[in-house]
Amino acid sequence: MAFVVGVPAIAGKAPAAQKNATCSQGKGFASFMGMKAVKNTPKFAYAAEEERSLFTVVDAQTAAGGETVAEATTMKVKVAVNGFGRIGRNFVRCLEGRKQTNLELVAINDTGGAKLSAHLLKYDSILGRFDADVKYVDDGAISVNGKTIKVVSTRDPTTLPWKELGVEIVIESTGVFIDGPGAGKHIAAGAKKVVITAPAKGSDIPTYVVGVNHKDYNPSTDHIVSNASCTTNCLAPFVKVLDEKFKIIKGTMTTTHSYTGDQRLLDASHRDLRRARAAAMNIVPTSTGAAKAVALVLPNLKGKLNGLALRVPTPNVSIVDLVVQVEKKTFADEVNAALREAANTDLKGVLVVSDEPLVSCDFRCTDQSSTIDASLTMVMGDDMVKVIAWYDNEWGYSQRVVDLAEIVAQSM
């Protein structure tokens, strides 16, 4: 199957805008975020020979109008979403925003049913109204821009109609079926591949962070894969740069993370006594496996990183604070230069560097996994490095889910 990538902008013309905006913003992010490399549009390579422009896509998603680039005709890989929560709905918006894709969404499984799925896809407190024609068709279907999507509501994945619908890839976004036996139920139901939108349980499921180790994907053996966590997707790209350039000895990470659905609106029962407390009223320290999970995609860092999370009363956008001891003596400008180089080469579209004095809301709906805040980079002595990076823990992560699904689809 041919692998379709984004259409490059015509020389001398601005990128064509897409009519169905998927994430509400007032400006294109290249200009809004104060990126130094705006003129050289960052690209992320899905494959070694083919690239697409992430900034072109994000500007298209946020522009008010313009012509839509025609999508190439090709046989598409049928995709289903299991669990239509924050990541499931963000995934659909991100997928809809792609000018060209190998993926075709044909089904959603969510216990809320079709009417709720349509409503929450169209109206979103963080993303704003979905500028697409979203309709409730009946109790078994919704439509997006005229395309009918089957909706089922079952808690047992083995009974899902994946074989009947020809589903090849399942986006497992319930947060429940994250081990081999659980995610394997989708395979039993007829799917060929499963992408888990969370850290997987068990060493039998490989973890991939797009831009870091996605080239290791083996289609002949990797039938269930994990896209790691949003924080690992932010952390791993720039940790990779720091380790390659300066050699990390050890370090710690703190993510100041927006509250999530796993917390309580008011004090209530929870297995984690801190997360049992009201999310919108407290700074809630809690655990995160993000730092240790970096070793799953960068094995040479096993045992060298650890960290924790501080959940704060904001609904979206988070920030990672990494402090590492390095072997090679360095200084702040050299660290930033290394990160800029990576952002303009191997990690285009995944990593970006900002020079503007911005705050969390300014990073809402950024496509990149990680935005380095260059003004906050510090070096103590000459071997203790501090790097701060912003990330949209929903939208940016969901873009990488689409990317990983595209990589899986490429081999089908």
Average pLDDT, the chain: 87
Tell me the sheet residues that pair with 348.
351
Decide if 177 is inside a domain: yes
Which of 52-56, 257-261, 301-305 bottoms out in mean pLDDT, i.e. has the lowest? 52-56
Same domain, 162 and 120: yes
| DSSP state, residue 328 | S
Count: domains in the chain: 2
Instruction: Assess contact for 379 and 386: CB atoms under 8 A.
Output: yes
pLDDT at residue 23, rounded to an integer? 73
Tell me how far apart the alpha carbons of residues 132 and 126 are, in angstroms, rounded to a whole number: 16
Same domain, 243 and 389: yes
From the list 230, 234, 361, 365, the catalytic residue is: 230
pLDDT at residue 361, rounded to an integer? 98
Tell me how far apart the alpha carbons of residues 6 and 30 are, in angstroms, rounded to a whole number: 17
Taking 3-state DSSP, the helix, strand and coil percentages for the chain, each rounded to the nearest 5, stand at: 30, 25, 45
Angle at 87 between CA 205 and CA 412, to 5 degrees: 50
> 3-class SS at 160?
coil
pLDDT at residue 342, rounded to an integer? 98
Same domain, 248 and 389: yes
Angle at 324 between CA 226 and CA 258, to 5 degrees: 50
Tell me how far apart the alpha carbons of residues 151 and 119 are, in angstroms, rounded to a whole number: 13
Task: For residue 389, give the CATH number of its domain.
Answer: 3.30.360.10
Tell me how far apart the alpha carbons of residues 349 and 367 are, in angstroms, rounded to a whole number: 8
Which of 345, 395, 412 shows the shortest CA–CA distance to 57? 395
Decide if 200 is inside a domain: yes
Q: Give the dihedral of Cα atoms 96, 67, 32, 316; nearest 10 deg.
A: -20
Same domain, 302 and 337: yes
Same domain, 182 and 101: yes
Top pLDDT among 64 and 127 is at 127
At 209-259, the pLDDT tens digits run: 999 999 999 999 999 999 999 999 999 999 999 999 999 999 999 999 999
pLDDT at residue 24, rounded to an integer? 61
Residue reference for tokens 């990076």: 389
At 102-112, the pLDDT tens digits run: 999 999 999 99
Res. 28: pLDDT tops 70: no
pLDDT at residue 46, rounded to an integer? 37
pLDDT at residue 42, rounded to an integer? 34
pLDDT at residue 300, rounded to an integer? 96
At 133-174, the pLDDT tens digits run: 999 999 999 999 999 999 999 999 999 999 999 999 999 999
Structure tokens at 365: 């709906």
Decide if 144 is inside a domain: yes
Amino acid at 319: I
Which of 87, 32, 84 shows the shortest CA–CA distance to 58? 32
Tell me how far apart the alpha carbons of residues 317 and 315 are, in angstroms, rounded to a whole number: 7
Q: Is 230 a catalytic residue?
A: yes
CB neighbours of 59 closer than 8 A, spacing ≥ 6? Answer: 15, 17, 28, 29, 30
Q: Domain range for residue 159?
A: 77-205
Strands 318-326 and 384-391: antiparallel
At 317-359, the pLDDT tens digits run: 999 999 999 999 999 999 999 999 999 999 999 999 999 999 9
Tell me the sheet residues that pair with 372.
353, 389
pLDDT at residue 223, rounded to an integer? 98
Task: For residue 84, give the CATH number of its domain.
Answer: 3.40.50.720
Decide if 59 is inside a domain: no
At 375-410, the pLDDT tens digits run: 999 999 999 999 999 999 999 999 999 999 999 999
At 70-90, the pLDDT tens digits run: 344 468 999 999 999 999 999
Decide if 408 is inside a domain: no
Same domain, 250 and 346: yes
Q: Give the dihedral of Cα atoms 227, 47, 394, 68; nearest 10 deg.
A: -150
Residue reference for tokens 């068990």: 202
Decide if 251 is inside a domain: yes
Q: Compute the average pLDDT of residues 3-21.
A: 32
pLDDT band at 22 (very low <50, low <70, confident <90, very high): low
pLDDT band at 47 (very low <50, low <70, confident <90, very high): very low
Which of 43-47, 237-241, 257-261, 282-286 bottoms out in mean pLDDT, i.e. has the lowest? 43-47
Res. 67: pLDDT tops 50: no
